[in-house]
């Protein structure tokens, strides 16, 4: 591979729409399937962005990490139908453990907490307060940091494209936003407002081809059709 092949990237793919993601329910461990529209979202993304010679090029992928949830695994099937890249199903990138808040709307969570005498000084914030009977920000940080450390180890010797080192992660709204914060070195409480639509792909990489300068890639030119 050419020395100008590019800095390794981490592609963040959110699963397609489910009934609960469409109406705003907190979906952690519940196995909610993709809607027909959600499947089309992923297929459309895959047709434009994934495959030989495209942005997510299997020839450049060294590993795929997927959440254990069925909606994430189905997303991989639709995004890369003929996937042959080594794939690992890992809880490190599973959705936030919502505990008592599973299946609820944000307003229901806040109302319930108010009734239990919580949040007297400020509104509930998952990035600071975590979830009752679920995960805290500290617990989410530990598992995501573990995955980041593994990815950096895979990529550290390929800052100039010496060998394929791109990574694809397929997961969920909160876990991917948490991953982004930690990739950049911020605590989960850091007020970094980022969005990732169902079926969409975000990109992380490194500045100056330096493993110690992780960065968010705000945009890049797409490969031309051949």
Task: Write out the E strands in the chain.
Answer: 10-14, 61-66, 87-89, 166-171, 201-206, 214-216
181 known member of a binding site = no
- 3-class SS at 81? coil
90 known member of a binding site = no
213 known member of a binding site = no
- 3-class SS at 36? helix
71 known member of a binding site = yes
The CA-atom distances, in angstroms, between 49 and each of 70, 77, 168 are 22, 14, 12
Phi, psi of 14 (to 5 degrees): -90, 140
Q: Which residues are catalytic?
A: 15, 95
DSSP state letter for 34: B
Query: What is the rounded distance in angstroms from the CA atom of residue 158 to the CA atom of residue 164?
Result: 7
127 known member of a binding site = no
Residue numbers in the known binding site for substrate are 27-28, 71, 95-98
């Amino acid at each position: 591979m050419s020395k100008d092949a590019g800095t390794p990237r981490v592609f963040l793919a959110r699963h397609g729409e489910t009934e609960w993601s469409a109406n705003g329910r907190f979906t952690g461990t519940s196995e909610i399937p993709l809607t027909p529209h959600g499947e089309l979202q992923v297929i459309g993304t895959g047709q434009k962005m994934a495959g030989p010679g495209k942005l997510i090029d299997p020839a450049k992928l060294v590993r795929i990490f997927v959440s254990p949830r069925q909606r994430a695994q189905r997303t991989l099937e639709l995004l890369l139908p003929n996937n042959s890249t080594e794939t690992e199903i890992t809880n490190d990138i599973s959705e936030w453990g919502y505990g008592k808040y599973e299946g609820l709307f944000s307003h229901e969570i806040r109302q319930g907490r108010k009734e239990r005498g919580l949040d007297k000084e400020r509104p509930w914030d998952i990035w600071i307060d975590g979830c009752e009977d679920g995960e805290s920000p500290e617990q989410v940080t530990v598992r995501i940091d573990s995955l980041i450390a593994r990815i950096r180890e895979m990529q550290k010797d390929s800052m100039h494209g010496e060998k394929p080192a791109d990574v694809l992660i397929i997961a969920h709204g909160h876990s991917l936003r948490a991953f982004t914060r930690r990739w950049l070195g911020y605590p989960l409480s850091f007020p970094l407002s980022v969005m990732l639509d169902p079926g969409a792909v975000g990109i992380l990489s490194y500045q100056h081809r330096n493993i110690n300068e992780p960065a968010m890639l705000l945009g890049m030119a797409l490969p031309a059709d051949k």
